[in-house]
Structure 1
C-alpha cells in the first residue's frame, strides 16, 4: 500500500486559541488609556491660565487687617509743674521723666482700587498710602522718675503735680512723635511692610517676581 501524500488541511484557529491573545493585549490597552487620562489631567493642572486680577489679590491681603502698626517710638518726655498754696506762701515743684511709647499705624480699610495701579508689562504694582496715624502716647508711669522741690509738699499738692505732669508728658510725647525724623522712619517702615505684605501674596498667586512701589499722599507718583 502506498502512503497517502495528500497535504493535511490547515488548522483554523478556534475561539479558544484566540482568547489568550486578546487577554494579553487588554492590560496594554488599559495602560495606554490610563496614561492618556493622566496626561490630560496634568495638562489641565499645569497649562497656562488666567491667574486673576492682581489688584483683587492685593486687596485680599488687606482684608483681615483694618489697621497695621508699622513703627513704634520710645520717648522720654521731661516735664515740670508748680503748685502754690496758702496764698502763695507754700510753693512746690515737681520735675518728671515719664517713658512713653507711641505707635504709628496705617488705616488699611481706606486703601482701595483707586489707590493701586498695575503695570502688566513691567510686572509692577504701585500703591499710594494715606497719611500715617500717630497714636495716643502710652505713658509708663510705673517707670517714671520724679524730682520734687519744696519745704513742705502735702498729699493733695503732690497728686496735683503728678496729674499736671502726666498731661504735660502726654502732650509733649505727641509733639515729639511728630518730629520729621521719626515720621520719616515710620514712613520707611510702612513702605517696607506694604511691599512685603503684597509681594508675597502676588508671587504665591502666580504672578512671579513682582515689584511693589509705595508712596504716601503728597509724595511723587511712584509710576
Structure 2
C-alpha cells in the first residue's frame, strides 16, 4: 500500500522575522539619507528612495517535509525494491520591489496616508535538504543502480510536492502578511525622518481593495 503523501508545514520563528523587518526599515532609512530628496515636497520620491537598494526582498520562508515513495524493478521483476523518503525542504517567498514605481504609490496629503500597491509575491523553487532526509527501504537486494534511481525519483517527487504545498492559500496569506509588515516598516520610517511625522501606510496587492491590514 502506498503511504499517505503528507506535507508537514512549520511556520518560521517570529523573532528572526521581526529582526529582519527592523533591519529592512533601517536600510530603507539609510537609502533615503543617501538618495532621498533634500526637502519634503515629494513623499513619493522619498518612498521610492527607500526601495532603491532592496530589489528582490525575501519576506517569508516555509519549512516543509514531503513524504514520498518510489519503486524499482530489475531482471524482469525478480529484483523489486521500494523506498519511502521524508525530505525536508525550504521554500522562500519574495517580493520584486523593482516593479514598484510611481504608478503603484498614492499620497493623501490631508490624511498623511500613503497607499501602496504591490506586485504578487513570488513562490521560489524548493530547496531540498537531502542531507537530513530519512529513508525506509524495502527489498531483498538493492543494487547500486537501483538505489541511485530510487533517490532520483524521490527527489523529483519531493520537489514537486513541496512546490504544490507552497502555493496553498494559507501559506500565501502568511507570505503576503509578512510582505505588508515589511513594506510598512520600510516606508514609515523614511517618511517620518523626512519631516512628514507619523504617517499611515496601507499596503495591498494587485487585485485587492485598499485595506489597513
TM-score by length of 2: 0.80
Cα distance in structure 2, aligned partners of 1:210 and 1:175: 39
Q: Which stretches in structure 1 are left out of the alignment for 5+ residues?
A: 1-48
Q: Verify the 8 A CA contact 2:202 2:210 in the aligned structure 1.
A: no
Q: Which structure features the higher share of strand residues? A: 2
Structure 2, unpaired ranges of 5+: 1-37
Paired residues, what number?
175
Measure, in 2, the Cα distance between the counterparts of 1:89 and 1:162.
20
1:195 aligned partner: 184
Partner of 2:67: 78
Output the CA distance in 2 between the equivalents of 1:192 and 1:221.
Answer: 15
Provide, for residues 79-116 of structure 1, a one-character-per-residue CA deviation record: whole Å limited to 9, x for no partner: 11111111122111000000000000000000000001
Q: How many Å separate the matches in 2 of 1:50 and 1:95?
A: 63
Report the RMSD for the aligned CA atoms in angstroms.
1.3
Report the equivalent of 1:176.
165
TM-score by length of 1: 0.76
Asked whether the equivalents of residues 82 and 94 of structure 1 are also in contact (C-alpha less than 8 Å), the reply is: yes
**2:147 paired with 1:158:** yes
Can you list the C-alpha shifts for 1:48-69, whole angstroms capped at 9, x where unaligned?
A: x951200000000111011010
The aligned counterpart of 1:133 is: 122
Kindly indicate whether the alpha-carbon contact (under 8 Å) linking 2:104 and 2:116 is maintained by their aligned counterparts in 1. yes
